[in-house]
């Protein structure tokens, strides 16, 4: 089932929170169950499926930029398909903050992303802007992201080969040499008890030409023409207070290019806002076990992904780390030196 069939329901989903919080609590699990039951699971081909997707939510949806009251910084590192030669590695860095001007709430952010396959790399540098509409139980946010993608390989061409002469499976990709403008847009809801967001990545479907020895004389041939596929992302989560200090957080993330879809359904348990752990299930790909802790305001986590389908199934799994740190808004403002009263001199 294709994800666009759910689109008419998203607007009503956002409204249900602001009109009646009790109805919002009941509808979020219901919609999540619909996604779990009816979305066709397949492996995503271009965008990175981070296991800690909720921690890097602004990476997938610019509307989440500035959703907190702090300067939020996040770093995520993923080593995918360990045991395969030239296995892909990814690093994502995001930073965002709320901004007040013209008596309105806005958000600003930056995204830096790097992906490596063997010795070749893709890089993305992008800026984010979001407009916030304060409502009764949270805020509705509309966001836009614009950046430059510097490509050295086609992430959609990844394949593994094995045979005589190879001690381990080998990852191969089609090389590229191109700088492309890239555009994302999204809408999101952030409240005390949960969040939800819908976004479109690679709106313009940037096109490029793959480079290979057989195409050196006809680089612009149709057979070499490729593109970054447009994809739709839906992400939602809710906090359920079990008993103090335990909180259960069911979450779901769906990414679809309308021809192929990836799904992660997550149950995360948090204790005293300091320790967390849980598992995720991705139909057609495998399962994820993760844990994390917070010390002195620094949140860190680790996840292990066991794949059950090729090419991940022939690997030793995927590993992921993330760090998150929030700074107060006045952190970079100059501090006034202490003053002495002349009466005490």
* Dist CA 300 CA 275 (whole Å): 10
Residue-level length of the chain: 345
Task: Find the distance separating the first CA and the last CA of the chain, reported in whole Å.
Answer: 78
Phi/psi at 34 (nearest 5 deg)? -60, -45
188 and 64 in contact (C-beta within 8 Å)? yes
Question: What's the confidence (pLDDT) of residue 11?
Answer: 44
Neighbours of 70 (CB within 10 A): 16
Both tokens of 161, joined, read: 């080969």
Cα radius of gyration (the chain) = 22
E strands, the chain, are 71-79, 88-101, 104-117, 120-135, 138-161, 170-191, 194-201, 207-209, 225-227, 231-238, 240-243, 246-256, 261-271, 275-282, 286-295, 298-307, 318-327
Question: What's the confidence (pLDDT) of residue 27?
Answer: 47
C-alpha distances (whole Å) from 186 to each of 8, 12, 65, 144, 165 are: 15, 16, 10, 7, 47
Question: What's the confidence (pLDDT) of residue 310?
Answer: 78
Run means of pLDDT, 10 residues per run, the chain, 345 residues: 41 44 45 40 66 96 95 97 94 96 93 95 97 91 97 91 72 93 97 94 93 51 79 96 93 89 95 96 94 95 94 92 92 64 56
Q: pTM of the predicted model, to two decimals?
A: 0.81
Question: What's the confidence (pLDDT) of residue 161?
Answer: 86
Question: What's the confidence (pLDDT) of residue 4?
Answer: 39
Residues facing 77 on adjacent strands: 91, 321
Question: What's the confidence (pLDDT) of residue 220?
Answer: 53
Question: What's the confidence (pLDDT) of residue 37?
Answer: 38
Q: Which domains does the chain possess?
A: 3-344 (2.40.160.40)
């Amino acid at each position: 089932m294709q994800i666009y069939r759910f689109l008419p329901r998203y607007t009503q989903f956002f409204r249900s929170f602001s009109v009646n919080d009790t109805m919002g609590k009941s509808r979020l699990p219901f919609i999540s169950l619909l996604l779990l039951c009816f979305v066709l699971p397949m492996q995503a081909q271009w965008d990175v499926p981070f296991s800690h997707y909720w921690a890097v939510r602004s990476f997938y949806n610019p509307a989440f930029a500035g959703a907190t009251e702090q300067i939020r910084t996040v770093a995520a590192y993923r080593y995918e398909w360990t045991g395969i030669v030239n296995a892909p590695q990814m690093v994502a860095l995001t930073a965002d903050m709320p901004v007040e001007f013209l008596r309105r709430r806005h958000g600003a952010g930056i995204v830096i992303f790097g992906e490596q396959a063997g010795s070749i790399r893709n890089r993305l540098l992008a800026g984010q802007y979001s407009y916030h509409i304060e409502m009764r139980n949270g805020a509705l946010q509309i966001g836009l992201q614009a950046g430059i993608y510097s490509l050295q390989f086609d992430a959609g061409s990844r394949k593994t080969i094995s045979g005589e002469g190879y001690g381990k499976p080998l990852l191969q990709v089609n090389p590229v040499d191109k700088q492309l403008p890239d555009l994302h847009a999204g809408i999101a809801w952030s409240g005390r008890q949960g969040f939800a967001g819908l976004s479109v990545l690679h709106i313009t479907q940037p096109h490029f030409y793959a480079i290979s020895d057989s195409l050196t004389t006809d680089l612009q041939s149709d057979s070499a023409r490729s593109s970054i596929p447009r994809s739709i992302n839906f992400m939602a989560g809710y906090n359920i207070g079990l008993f103090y200090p335990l909180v259960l957080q069911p979450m779901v993330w769906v990414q679809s290019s309308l021809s192929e879809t990836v799904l992660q359904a997550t149950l995360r348990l948090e204790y005293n806002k300091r320790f967390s752990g849980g598992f995720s299930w991705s139909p057609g790909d495998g399962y994820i076990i993760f844990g994390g802790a917070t010390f002195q305001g620094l949140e860190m986590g680790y996840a292990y992904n066991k794949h059950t389908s090729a090419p991940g199934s022939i690997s030793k799994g995927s590993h992921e780390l993330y760090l998150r740190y929030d700074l107060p808004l006045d952190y970079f403002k100059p501090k006034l030196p202490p003053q002495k009263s002349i009466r005490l001199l």
